[in-house]
Chain A
Amino acid sequence: MEGRQEAGKENKPSSTSVDPQGDSSLQVEISDAVSERDKVKFTVQTKSCLPHFAQTEFSVVRQHEEFIWLHDAYVENEEYAGLIIPPAPPRPDFEASREKLQKLGEGDSSITREEFAKMKQELEAEYLAIFKKTVAMHEVFLQRLAAHPTLRRDHNFFVFLEYGQDLSVRGKNRKELLGGFLRNIVKSADEALITSMSGLKEVDDFFEHERTFLLEYHTRIRDACLRADRVMQSHKCLADDYIPMSAALSSLGTQEVNQLKTSFLKLAELFERLRKLEGRVASDEDLKLSDMLRYYMRDSQAAKDLLYRRLRALADYENANKALDKARTRNREVRTAESNQQLCCRRFERLSDSAKQGKTPWLRNPCHWAAYPARVPTSPPSSPELMDFKSRRVSSFRKNLIELAELELKHAKASTLLLRNTLVALKGEP
């Protein structure tokens, strides 16, 4: 099924707010998108006065795999280990929608033509909604990158934005997918190992708190997201139920010869309208609640990944220390051990700093570190990745919850009006 979308900023489902911090030196948006048989083509438009680019305005066409490639490039880059990498956009998935349309086409002969048309309309609207969402997700990803002071300067990013040709990043084949899957398992196992390692104590209250918080938060937001999805699905089911109801009432009305005729016909009309309202409630809940929760579920995962990397660095540092001690005892390869330890130390510090950006002087002294001090007073963070995560989250929740409440009110009021009018009409009859 073909679909086109002129993705202006206004009509995007904005479950996540990306504020370019007033910096207009690099503006990215998805100006157009086309859905073909099994892929979506996004037109990425860049406006920039940065000297790096050849033009001030240019566009390229990108597919989903190229976005994933970009994301992975960031993740694998050691330089960005201390940053929260914006979560990759989810793969465009029209399968479910397509299946439903197909099932409808295969036909249930018991439904009338009008019912069929309505259901088809519903499914097409659903398809369109999914399409709009996937465009929005891809756009938000790019916009966060463009907004981040460090990430926006990445070479791959420039290539992605500017290079006119296909980036030839073939989709991952099965082996690679499996590999990625296994890597994730290894990562979580590793994480579990590191944290249960005796002797490895988190030296910084701040990070301890953050880790505990994020672990719990991530689980709970994932839960909330799943359940919000189910609520939305139920609402959709409810809306769909009105279709056969309205059809049956319509038939009843046409058949009746007595006063019930008008009653039934009015009811049929009422339920048709209620269906539309109910459908809007469902889609608003989807955008304002489900999507928002889903986005922050992914973002909190990205934050967790950062903490994991830091923890890994800590473990490495620790191991390096032990190795150095051993080397010194045996008086063999001390130089190597020393330099290695330095490396690990620096890495660990870098990650901690960028995550928190506080000056923790004691960490800079390897000797102190070797002594494993138990507790260190945490310095107040100024503009660290994790704090950034929090502020983004809070403002996004605020915006979406307000909009959700306002929309729910709007629809409830419209429903009430509709119902009242019908009641008046029905009561007024003899």
Chain B
Amino acid sequence: MAAEREPPPLGDGKPTDFEELEDGEDLFTSTVSTLESSPSSPEPASLPAEDVSTNSNGRKPAEVVLDDDREDLFAEATEEVSLDSPEREPILSSEPSPAVTPVTPTTLIAPRMESKSISAPVIFDRSREEIEEEANGDVFDIEIGVSDPEKVGDGMNAYMAYRVTTKTSLSMFSKSEFSVKRRFSDFLGLHSKLASKYLHVGYIVPPAPEKSIVGMTKVKVGKEDSSSTEFVEKRRAALERYLQRTVKHPTLLQDPDLRQFLESSEWFEEKQQQFENLDQQLRKLHASVEALVCHRKELSANTAAFAKSAAMLGNSEDHTALSRALSQLAEVEEKIDQLHQEQAFADFYMFSELLSDYIRLIAAVKGVFDHRMKCWQKWEDAQITLLKKRETEAKMMVANKPDKIQQAKNEIREWEAKVQQGERDFEQISKTIRKEVGRFEAKRVKDFKTVIIKYLESLVQTQQQLIKYWEAFLPEAKAIA
């Protein structure tokens, strides 16, 4: 029965593919074990059409899973790792979708594949396994809800942001429940990408809801009347239905763009932004501390010079008591000059050096984020190449060139592996980064706190010495008769 569920095979090669992969990979075994041990997966048989209908009715309460998750990522990750079979560690890492630019999700969905002619869909063995497991028809263990329309921004630049919540027990997703904020143009972008990839090979890609300039303008302008609320509700429901249809399509469900759309968390974008800001401010602080060090050294030098001239003046002074007081003043100033010098060292070695160390460390952190991007890019590129190869295979089949077909099939196998590797690598690096960032931040907090306290204590020390010196001088000054 499962075999019937497969989409029309492109050739005879399909089942063969499957078996080959099955032989070679560990993926298969682990996937099965995951599915079995996953606590949240209901009986496949019990996923009825009812689910679908529930989704499209009314609004679902927003799942704020993702927000909590941001704090708790590491907890989640470790839990999930334990669910896995021992051989496979990090499939179940976090979101596989980086931002191409760390700003809004909108940019992610900008169609990238427009200029490329890609035809064949990509099917991965492990998810295929899952799909095979499903007893029933087009229903998979995944539910999408679109809720919480929220107006972002003002005037003509405003837009509505919707919360897209995914509930699933499919192992290809790192969590069982998560949500992101998307705007209408993001949905359109997703459709555009999927359409360009799959339509012309014959897949029925569900269409996205239509644009409506009038309706949207009313909303932007801020008319709180019933027609705009109705409009928003209509749109929300349409978007939900659209996504439901899309994810129920087994092929489309595999697509990385769709997955990115559903899963992309702002965590990485946020963190990148945070580190960027931190870098900027630390640099500013560092520059001003360096100026402080410089000026304190100047102060020390000037104090020393003054001490000398005070001593000379004291020598010239022919009033005895005043002469002595001036000499004492010179001595005090000399000691103070020493004090300033020591303080300048403290300024530098404690404060300034800490800052410059962290500026360099943050550069390393930024590098790590960049690598993740490169990883994602590699994965994407592999996927594109794979699609090309499939296209080639199809062409060869049409042209009926059996030797070329074999070559094409080989290449397809090769690239499928690369795609999988790419995905694994990406998820691995994402997971590692999350852990590392947590560790880094904890260390940073500790480091800064320690150094700040030490530095302040050095300042206290200086002031106390000053008090000592001036207290010693005061009676001398009073003694001038």
Contact = CB atoms under 8 A, between A and B. Distances in A.
A223 B474 CA distance: 24
A231 B281 contact: no
Given A230-B302, A231-B302, A405-B470, A423 B456 contact: yes
Interface in B323-348: 325-326, 329
Contacts of B460: 416, 419-420, 423
A257 B329 CA distance: 49
Contacts, number: 155
A329 interface: no
A230 B306 contact: yes
Contacts of A267: 452
Interface stretch (A33-41, A51-59, A179-187, A390-398): A390-398
Contacts of A217: 313, 316-317
Contacts of B445: 258-260
Contacts of A404: 477
Interface in B238-291: 274, 277-278, 281-282, 284-285, 287-289, 291
A245 B296 CA distance: 14
B456 to A, nearest CB: 5
Contact of B274 (A223, A247, A255, A419): A255
**Interface residues of chain A: helix, strand, loop or mixed (majority):** helix
Contacts of A230: 302, 305-306
B360 interface: no
Interface stretch (B95-103, B186-194, B461-469): B461-469
A248 interface: yes
Contacts of A255: 274, 277-278, 281
A234 interface: yes
Contact of A224 (B295, B313, B473, B480): B313
Contact of A394 (B289, B310, B444, B480): B480
B473 A405 contact: yes
Interface in A4-24: none
**Interface residues of chain B: helix, strand, loop or mixed (majority):** helix
Interface in A236-251: 237-238, 241-242, 244-245, 247-249, 251
Contacts of B470: 405, 408-409, 412
B295 A234 contact: yes
A263 B316 contact: no
Contacts of B318: 213, 390
Bin the interface of chain A by size.
Answer: 35 or more
Contacts of B477: 398, 401-402, 404-405
B284 A244 contact: yes
A251 B265 CA distance: 26
A252 B285 contact: yes
A394 B474 contact: no
Interface string A214-236: 00110011011001101101110
A116 to B, nearest CB: 15
Contacts of B14: none
Nearest to B471: A409
A8 B370 CA distance: 67
A426 B452 contact: yes
Contacts of B319: 390, 393-394
A416 B312 contact: no
A424 to B, nearest CB: 10
Contact of A227 (B277, B288, B291, B309): B309
A364 interface: no
B292 interface: yes
A397 B480 contact: yes
A216 B314 CA distance: 11
Interface of A: 213, 216-217, 220-221, 223-224, 227-228, 230-231, 233-235, 237-238, 241-242, 244-245, 247-249, 251-252, 255, 257-260, 263, 267, 270, 390, 393-394, 397-398, 401-402, 404-406, 408-409, 412-413, 415-416, 419-420, 422-423, 426-427
Give the 10 A-B CB pairs with smallest separation, nearest first: A234-B299, A248-B285, A244-B288, A401-B477, A398-B480, A227-B306, A224-B309, A412-B466, A248-B284, A230-B302
